[in-house]
A and B are shown apart, each in its own frame.
Chain A
Amino acid sequence: MTATQTDGNHALLEVRGVSKYFGNVIAIKDVSAAVGAGEVTCVLGDNGAGKSTFIKILSGVHKQDEGELYMNGDKVSFASPRDARERGIATVFQDLATVPLMSIWRNFFLGSEPEKKIGPFGFLDVNSAKRIMREELKKMGIDVRDPDQPVGTLSGGERQAVAISRAIYFGAKVLILDEPTSALGVKQSGIVLRYIAQARDRGVGVIFISHNPHHAYPVGDRFVILNRGHLQGSWKRGEISRDELVRMMAGGAELDQLTHELERAPEVQTTQ
């Protein structure tokens, strides 16, 4: 959509040289990244690379020890997760986004229910809640036949879609997705990637956290690889091939070494 973003100048959200220490442990050190409107920035890294710390700084849970955050070029600082949310940064956590026993429309509006005032009493505006939920999910490509269906009966991918469309409906400009595909099968992951593309096309800046380069590559406009708390590299789409991305993720030479070791194993078996 707006692929004319110059590198970071007016990025929707940008972090420059951010570091976070927990006591004498360096969680992340000197990390920079940016996401523009209608772009997907993929943050990749293995376990312990500092992805969670990075998200928590972006969503206002932690405050960075060094470095700055910018929104639309203005320096910002988030006092709390609520503060970040009010500025339009929504975080969708993989498993903590929806309440399984509640219906889809109740989940969609939980915490921000629409009300009709009749005298001093506020009534839930159930009809418009169901209608809006249906319309919003339709924009994501999901046709909800039964708004009263409990969210728990939806597939993992669809539950993510409910959380994503809710965040966008309530004004998210930046959407942070924490490992949205990690617990899903191949097919479901593909569906979630489609939702990410959907959100991107509606002008939302998406920060997609993952440890799977195969999921990140097809939707990403920018790729940021974290390794043991450091920024290992950052590329724009077209600057890096999928194979290079996979290699970088796995630590390059380490992967070659591992491949080498594993390949020898069957030979040893057959000689015995």
Chain B
Amino acid sequence: MSDQATTVPAPTPPAPVSVVDERLAHVSLLTKLLRRPELGALMAATVIGIFFGVTTSEFGTLDGAANWTDVASTLGIPAVAVALLMIGGEFDLSAGVMTGSSGLFMGILATEVGMSIWPAILLTLVAAAMVGFINGYMVVRTKLPSFIVTLATFFVLQGVNLGVTKAITGTVRVAGIGDVSGYDSAFKVLGGSFWSPHDFRVTVLWWIAITAIATWVLARTRVGNWIFGVGGDQVAARNVGVPVSRVKIALFMTTATASALVGIMIALRLASVQAGQGIGDEFNYIIAAVVGGCLLTGGFGSAFGAAIGALIIGMAFIGIQFEGWNTDWRFLFLGVILLLAVLINNFVRRSAEGARR
């Protein structure tokens, strides 16, 4: 039956026979490029940038760039964290509404409780990390899909945002953050702008820094390797000693904290927060991550790609405005690029995984 398999020389030690698979021998440039998850996003960003740059007069100027990098950065900071989470094999649908929750929480601490702004910011980040911990802990313990667990968190936070804000302020917004002590220094660091007269937002610098750190963590640290392992096959990862639960909980905490940071930035910039802030943005983060090459099934993706994904969304939103088109068209755009990205990613994954699955 399988007698051919028995041609192994058993008693005498065989010399190491080189069994080079012919597929190992040749790695084409195309294969190497296809392994880069962010390649598609980079090409799309170039095409979209050129398109709006040619068809509108403002888009290609520095003033225009200040506009679209602003949108890209406030989407990009959470999107990079969401990308890490998705590579780790999980979702967070509460990431959008968390920007509202954190802004409101900080605003209430500052205006109603009477804290000065820096302690309020610190406390807000800690509170957000706790929400992230609860998300992660519930996912790890119950083994329920994170889609469901964080959907519940999403609605809980949305309810709290509206209910608590109305109960405390009597309105659906928290205002007057600009009068709190320490506001000026906090605004400079988190809400202000640089490079006048173009006035790029400081959030852009934060976005670049966070993307760089996340890329470094993924590519060059043990934790980065664990994130890929946990998302790729958590049983295999656990078998070789990766602390799967701790990695996942840490990723949820990172995502919630990144969202909270953006929530704080927006609250400082506007000096007030609407109770409905951030709802729907969770999809933008996920779209940015997917366009940047993250697989919905985990184990593959890139933080840099997610940043480029956010850039694409930022360029499209502002570009559509500059064109003078109805801004409702941006949703159509989001839908189309999401679909295209998923199709491309699916193809890339199949070639990366080989014929096995």
Interface residues of A (CB under 8 A from B): 1, 82, 85, 93, 96-102, 106, 109-113, 115, 122-124, 126, 138-146, 148-150, 152-156, 158, 166, 181, 186-187, 189-191, 193-194, 197-198, 201, 212, 214-215, 217-220
Contact A98 B35 (CB under 8 A): no
Contact B299 A218 (CB under 8 A): no
Within 8 Å of chain A (Cβ to Cβ): is B141? no
CA A218 to CA B225, docked complex, whole Å: 38
Contact A217 B232 (CB under 8 A): no
B108 to chain A, nearest CB (A): 36
B24 contact set on A, CB distance < 8 A? 143-146, 149
> Which of B109-117, B158-166, B237-245, B283-291 forms part of the interface with chain A?
B237-245
7 A-B residue contacts at CB 8 Å? A99-B237, A102-B232, A122-B222, A154-B354, A187-B5, A194-B19, A214-B2
B18 contact set on A, CB distance < 8 A? 141-143
* Residue in B228, B240, B241 whose Cβ sees the most chain A Cβ within 10 Å: B240
Contact A153 B354 (CB under 8 A): yes
Other CB < 8 Å A-B pairs besides A111-B242, A146-B24, 9 of them?
A110-B229, A111-B237, A111-B241, A124-B225, A145-B27, A152-B357, A153-B23, A194-B8, A218-B10
A142 contact set on B, CB distance < 8 A? 18-20
**Nearest A residue to B23, CB-CB:** A153
A85 contact set on B, CB distance < 8 A? 241
CA A190 to CA B6, docked complex, whole Å: 7
B10 contact set on A, CB distance < 8 A? 197, 218-220
Contact B232 A101 (CB under 8 A): yes
Within 8 Å of chain A (Cβ to Cβ): is B143? no
Contact A99 B299 (CB under 8 A): yes
B356 contact set on A, CB distance < 8 A? 100, 152, 156
B235 contact set on A, CB distance < 8 A? 96
Contact B13 A110 (CB under 8 A): no
CA A62 to CA B21, docked complex, whole Å: 38
Contact B225 A101 (CB under 8 A): no
Interface residues of B (CB under 8 A from A): 1-10, 13-14, 16-21, 23-25, 27, 32, 35, 219-222, 224-226, 228-229, 232-233, 235-237, 239-242, 295, 299-300, 349, 352-354, 356-357
Contact A148 B35 (CB under 8 A): yes
* Residue in A93, A101, A126 whose Cβ sees the most chain B Cβ within 10 Å: A101
B233 contact set on A, CB distance < 8 A? 96, 98-100
A88 to chain B, nearest CB (A): 14
**Nearest A residue to B356, CB-CB:** A152
CA A126 to CA B220, docked complex, whole Å: 7
A255 to chain B, nearest CB (A): 14
- With A154-B21, A201-B13 known to touch, is A186 a contact of B236 (CB < 8 Å)? no
* Residue in A82, A96, A201 whose Cβ sees the most chain B Cβ within 10 Å: A96
Q: For the complex of A and B, list the 6 residue pairs with the smallest distance between their C-beta atoms, beginning with the closest.
A: A99-B232, A152-B353, A111-B240, A111-B241, A153-B354, A141-B16
Contact A198 B16 (CB under 8 A): yes
Instruction: Report which of A111, A150, A194, A217 forms a contact with B35, defined as CB distance below 8 A.
Output: A150
CA A154 to CA B7, docked complex, whole Å: 22
Instruction: Report which of A152, A155, A197 forms a contact with B21, defined as CB distance below 8 A.
Output: A155
**Nearest B residue to A190, CB-CB:** B5
CA A190 to CA B241, docked complex, whole Å: 30
B237 contact set on A, CB distance < 8 A? 99, 110-111
Contact A214 B1 (CB under 8 A): yes
